[in-house]
Amino acid sequence: MLTVRRYTAADQDSVRELFVRVNHELAPPHLKEAFESYIERSLVEEIERIPVYYGERGGSFWVAVPNPTLRGEREEGGVGDIFGVFGLERRDAATAELRRMYVDSRARRRGIGREMLGRAEDVARQDDCVRMVLSTSELQQAAISLYRNSGYRIVREEIAVEQSNKALGGGIRRFYFEKYL
């Protein structure tokens, strides 16, 4: 049903569209402006320069695309041909950070997130990492459940006040997870 492969330049528009749409879906009404600012900042600093951004951090970026069915048709449910994405950054010699794990809302509840997480862990192991870290916000309850059910443990929480390309800010609670691979 799914192939998880390295990002290519041809994926740029679909990745951008998925990133913007998922973040619009996450935005509660009282934080619409903050999300717009976060989206614009993240596009400029990261999403519109994926090869450079992840290359500078010793990482990689991946896309989940549907496999052709036996009849040669495409499965429906993703943005363009992309059902999901994730990035990996090297934090230190033994640690990878999972970033930007998004699944298209029209393709959720099919195990795509779990499959992408497993692939991210495999890639990290191949890169000699023994630990994976990640963070997510209180707005992403399904992601929190996925990480907990996949053996990740919360190592800290914080209220994000300042915005960056990694956090919205705006007083949203962030959960920081880790797992030894």
Tens digits of residue pLDDT in 108-158: 888 899 999 999 999 999 999 999 999 999 999 999 999 999 999 999 999
What's the CA gap between 81 and 89, in Å, rounded? 24
Q: Give one DSSP letter per residue of 22-37, joined into a string.
A: HHHHH--GGGHHHHHH
Q: Which domains does the chain have, with CATH numbers?
A: 2-131 (3.40.630.30)
What's the CA gap between 54 and 113, in Å, rounded? 21
pLDDT at 164 over 70: no
CB-count exposure of residue 171 (10 Å: 0-12, 13-18, 19+) = exposed
Instruction: Output the pTM of the full model.
Output: 0.89
